[in-house]
């Protein structure tokens, strides 16, 4: 795997891993994951303690909004990439006593086959995760915990008390345009998820203490 760069985002624990593609007249070839590279690259040394136990694929139609999901027992970190289409990834700090608790940010992840690189985004435990899709889009994500339906929760991406102050304002504008579109596709479960303040008062939030999860 040709790792080009590892870039922390506004939340340093959330990282972009850019990897090389080998292009020629036929198209391209790439290794999207090689365990030994993740174990030996000093910039992502935290992966030495990470084991991926589940791999998921998700297709979303244009103007779909998903999230903001998270789970505990076991915790689930996610390594996510766009296979085709255009995803904006969303991540919300849910760690009690974190200086950025309740703040949400976004990262633009379109897939362009002509580029000489691809990207993973790493969403560690302690962050709720969601996506908004600007085109018909297929994504893949590897998880560090198996799905546990009795130990999951959702904060609504439409919650009025999300703090967007750290988010790129251009991406926030795109998000706003998407959620006000009459063709927005979102489940009732996600739409009616918790607010940040409801989560803060929920006993289950104690599973996510800053510096502990």
pLDDT (tens digit, 9 = 90+) per residue, 129-140? 999 999 999 999
Q: In this structure, is residue 10 part of a structural domain?
A: yes
Q: Which pLDDT tens digit goes with each residue over 7-62? A: 999 999 999 999 999 999 899 999 999 888 888 888 888 888 889 999 999 999 99
Q: In this structure, is residue 68 part of a structural domain?
A: yes
Using the predicted structure, report yes or no on whether residue 213 has a pLDDT greater than 90. Answer: no
List the catalytic residues.
69, 141
> d(Cα 104, Cα 128) in Å, to the nearest integer?
9
Q: Which pLDDT tens digit goes with each residue over 160-176? A: 999 999 999 999 999 99
> d(Cα 213, Cα 144) in Å, to the nearest integer?
13
Q: What is the CA radius of gyration of the chain?
A: 17
Q: In this structure, is residue 93 part of a structural domain?
A: yes
pTM of the model: 0.94
Q: In this structure, is residue 212 part of a structural domain?
A: no
Q: Which pLDDT tens digit goes with each residue over 189-211? A: 999 999 999 999 999 999 999 98
Peptide bond into 26 cis (omega under 30): no
Predicted local confidence at residue 38, as pLDDT? 85
Instruction: Work out the pLDDT band at 127, boundaries 50, 70, 90.
Output: very high
- Where residue 100 sits, what CATH number does that domain have? 2.60.120.10
Q: How many domains does the chain divide into?
A: 1
Instruction: Work out the pLDDT band at 120, boundaries 50, 70, 90.
Output: very high
Q: In this structure, is residue 213 part of a structural domain?
A: no
- Dihedral over alpha carbons 174, 179, 183, 188 (to 10 degrees): 150
- Dihedral over alpha carbons 7, 45, 82, 183 (to 10 degrees): -70
Residue span of the structural domain in which 12 resides: 3-207
Predicted local confidence at residue 65, as pLDDT? 98
Token pair for 188: 């009732």
Angle at 37 between CA 33 and CA 39, to 5 degrees: 110
Q: In this structure, is residue 73 part of a structural domain?
A: yes
Predicted local confidence at residue 85, as pLDDT? 98
How confident is the prediction for the chain on average, in pLDDT? 95
């Amino acid at each position: 795997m040709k790792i080009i760069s590892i870039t922390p985002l506004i939340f340093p624990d959330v990282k972009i891993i850019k990897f090389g593609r080998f292009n020629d007249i036929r198209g391209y070839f790439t290794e999207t994951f090689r365990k030994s590279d993740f174990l030996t690259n000093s910039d992502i040394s935290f992966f030495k303690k990470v084991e991926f136990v589940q791999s998921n694929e998700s297709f979303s139609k244009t103007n779909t909004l998903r999230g903001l999901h998270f789970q505990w027992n076991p915790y689930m970190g996610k390594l996510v990439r766009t296979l085709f289409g255009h995803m904006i990834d969303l991540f919300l700090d849910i760690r009690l006593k974190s200086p950025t608790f309740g703040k949400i940010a976004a990262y633009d992840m379109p897939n362009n086959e002509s580029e000489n690189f691809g990207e993973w985004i790493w969403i560690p435990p302690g962050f709720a995760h969601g996506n908004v899709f600007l085109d018909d889009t297929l994504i893949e994500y590897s998880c560090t915990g198996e799905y546990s339906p009795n130990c999951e929760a959702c904060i609504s991406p439409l919650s009025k008390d999300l703090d967007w102050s750290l988010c790129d304002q251009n991406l926030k504008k795109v998000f706003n345009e998407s959620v006000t579109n009459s063709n927005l596709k979102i489940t009732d479960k996600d739409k009616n998820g918790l607010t940040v303040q409801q989560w803060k008062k929920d006993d289950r939030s104690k599973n996510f203490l800053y510096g502990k999860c």
